[in-house]
Chain A
Amino acid sequence: MMLEVKNLVKEFGGLVANGDISFELRRGEILGLIGPNGAGKSTLFNCIAGYYKPTGGNILFEGKDITGWPPHQVTREGIARTFQGMKIMPNLTVEENVMIGAFCRTGNRQIARKEAWEILDLMGLTGEAEALPAGLPIAVQKRIELARAIATRPRLLMLDEMAAGLNPLETKEIIQTLQRIKEEKKLTLFLTEHVMEFIMTVSERVIVMAAGKKIAEGSPVEVARQEKVIEAYLGERYAKGR
């Protein structure tokens, strides 16, 4: 088992953002996490990645309890992530951004640079290597974030809203890239999205969240048919009226 989340609870003051969430993530699979805005997807992500300390419950990565670990230790353990609003280092070139990811596993600049270039090549970013990220299109910036995360040599890659802000063509391209690097780097993927097409075509299994609770789990086709899921997305009346 790659990742086990057991009875995870995260409260902010009185607000329960994640109430008793449990699920498992198998090695090599692509698990999607969907839900309407405010369902608690990002909170769950941040709890696993170490940005939030869970109020209760446990997170096990490859059998090791990583509950409440700080983010840098989670990354070193083998979980990399991207951010919903992109967080690229603006004063460093694309190459340097990816190199810093590679520095996670080595102290040697030559090795880090070599690795960065391999990943830039894989992501089709060699043309932008010397550029500063600020002026580049969003689709390219998303690739930089992805490249940087992969450079830390993760076994589990968590992608937060990868398709947000991309047009259909760019979305298709990034799906292809993702599938290619998943095979090449033998990754397990965990992604959140509220763009349904993206997650339904990519994931093998889907978890649905609404109002801080897990309401469904299964294959994309199964899940899409469940009343609770339709209700969460489209409202109670629509679900009943069908």
Chain B
Amino acid sequence: MRQLFIDIFFFGDRPHFERIGFLIFIIIVLVFPWMVTSAYGRAVMIKFLLFALFGLGWNLIGGYGGQVDLGQAKNVGFGAYATALMMVWWKTPFWITVIPGIVIAAAESFAVAYPMFRLKGHYFAIATLCVALVWKELFIFWDWTGGARGVEIPIRSGADFVYMQFNSPIYYHYFILFLFLLQFFFVNWFRKSKLGYEVQAVRDNEDAAASLGINVYRTKVINYTIAGGLGALGGSFMAVYYLYIDPDAVMPLDLSILIAMTVMVGGAGSIWGPIIGAAILIPLDMYLGAWLGAQKRLGIDFMIYAMIMMVIAAKEPKGVWGIIERVRKKGAR
């Protein structure tokens, strides 16, 4: 029991360094809504935490697992639709709708992982992309999910911790922070667990992993299943935060790619990578878009955005975290 507590809440290999980083991060996000009072600033912060949360989940398959998955949006969609539809149909409280969201996403991931992991590398990436697009088309086509019109969650009055609807963004800030920390500590436990090490061994060398008694195929399928389930959690938040969802908002290709990009820019295969990546890309996206949009220069923000990503991808394949690690190691010597 004590060991489990340590595994969840303590940092692994370089505890001192990581502890300081985490403390700084947590102080910033705790005081942020009291320092920044503009609605836009707070919205940027919430979106940052949301994408850091998505990134943490994707990091399991894309970072630790080394399998480029371009279909995480389908899991976000499953979470969002589970929450929205259950609230509309049966007035189910938020915290109960989270569970079927995660279970459906995990079950679907498990089912498609089985044939998909016969593919490798680029072929696997294309397969994940196709599966996600098929789901999006199905949700547009189906009437019982609201089709292309989407689903609207009825608005309630006042602060409501059962349906998680609030008047002030401060509540949403701490709400998403709570979900983020839940996932953060789960991933912190995962990366040091037996499964976490097996997943990394498979990423680095499949033959070697098999020679050490690891069932390569099974490890990939389980990892993909868990990553899928984690994707749904952020989706559930999106449903209650925006109060309106449609397939274009919660399961587009852009979302899948942005999730993958935040992790790659920040540093795949590190628990800090998704946080750093989201901290760079999300404010950049929102402020640059707003600023250039106001000057009627739409599209330029995407060009700048793409350029930054290309430079990072070309200069440092391990992302910003890779640069930090290298500088730190040089300092230690």
Contact = CB atoms under 8 A, between A and B. Distances in A.
Given A100-B197, A103-B198, A109 B7 contact: yes
Contact of A71 (B7, B201, B210, B269): B210
A8 to B, nearest CB: 20
Interface string B171-212: 000000000000000000000111001101101110111111
Interface residues of A, number: 34
Nearest to B207: A87
Contacts of B198: 100, 103
B157 interface: no
Nearest to A90: B204
A211 to B, nearest CB: 26
Nearest to A95: B13
Interface string B200-240: 11011101111111111000000000000000000000000
A152 B197 CA distance: 15
Contacts of A80: 211
A106 B198 CA distance: 12
A99 interface: yes
Contact of A75 (B197, B213, B269): B213
B3 A92 contact: no
Interface residues of B, number: 24
Interface in A105-126: 106-110, 112
A72 B215 contact: yes
Contacts of A90: 204-205
Contacts of B200: 89, 91-92, 96, 100
A55 B22 CA distance: 56
A92 B204 contact: yes
Contact of A110 (B3, B13, B211, B213): B3
Contacts, number: 83
Nearest to B66: A91
A130 to B, nearest CB: 8
B329 to A, nearest CB: 10
Interface in B267-285: 269
Given A107-B194, A109-B7, A75 B212 contact: yes
Given A89-B201, A100-B201, A152 B213 contact: yes
B272 to A, nearest CB: 15
B213 A76 contact: yes
23 contacts: A51-B207, A51-B210, A72-B210, A75-B210, A75-B212, A75-B213, A80-B211, A83-B207, A87-B207, A89-B201, A91-B200, A91-B203, A91-B204, A91-B269, A92-B197, A96-B197, A96-B200, A100-B200, A100-B201, A100-B214, A103-B212, A106-B194, A152-B212
Interface of B: 3, 7, 13, 192-194, 197-198, 200-201, 203-205, 207-216, 269
Interface of A: 49-51, 70-72, 75-76, 80-81, 83, 87-93, 96, 99-101, 103-104, 106-110, 112, 148-149, 151-152
Given A91-B200, A92-B200, 5 more contacts: A89-B208, A91-B204, A100-B209, A104-B213, A148-B212
Ordered nearest first, which 7 A-B pairs have the shortest CB separation?
A89-B204, A104-B213, A87-B208, A71-B210, A75-B213, A100-B201, A87-B205
